Copies of this chain bind each other. A is one copy, B any other.
Amino acid sequence: MQISKAESQVMQFLWERHPATASDVFAALGSVNDWSEATVKTLLNRLKKKGAVATEPDGKRFLYRPAIERDAWVLEESSHMLNRLFDGRLAPLVSHFSNHGKLSREDLDELRDLIERLDDEH
């Protein structure tokens, strides 16, 4: 499933808050992205054509809701990046961030806890 940058913002919104009308989407994203209503309509339509959102009539308008799982999309996107940049491995990514001072104490703590927990689950 190919979802563009602008489209993905619409999806992000729908994943958090669905069903939603086109106006809802515009209300939430229009000012942030400086989109006109027309732009939002186009994005919703393209997503519909791609099968990424489903619509359900509600009186004279539509209710939109995601038709694909956020998790699946996130996994696909992040896997691509990981493969492309880090040979598909996580440790080099973490290491990279650390090397560039992008790993805060907090991140480190979080990661340590997580790893421990995962270790315990054997």
Contact pattern, A 67-86, Cβ under 8 Å of B = 1, otherwise 0: 00001001101110100111
Task: For A6, list chain B residues within 8 Å (CB).
Answer: none
Q: Which of A1-20 contact B (CB under 8 A)?
A: 8
Asked, given contacts A81-B77, A111-B111, whether A118 binds B89 with beta carbons under 8 Å apart, the answer is: no
Is the C-beta of A34 less than 8 angstroms from some C-beta in chain B?
Answer: no
Task: For A86, list chain B residues within 8 Å (CB).
Answer: 74, 78
Task: For A79, list chain B residues within 8 Å (CB).
Answer: 102
Can you list 21 A-B pairs with a CB-CB distance of less than 8 A? Answer: A71-B99, A71-B100, A74-B86, A74-B96, A75-B96, A75-B100, A77-B85, A78-B81, A78-B97, A89-B110, A90-B111, A91-B107, A91-B110, A93-B93, A94-B114, A94-B115, A95-B114, A98-B118, A103-B118, A112-B115, A112-B119
The residues of A with any CB-CB pair to B shorter than 8 Å are 8, 71, 74-75, 77-79, 81, 84-86, 89-91, 93-100, 102-103, 107-108, 110-112, 114-115, 118-119
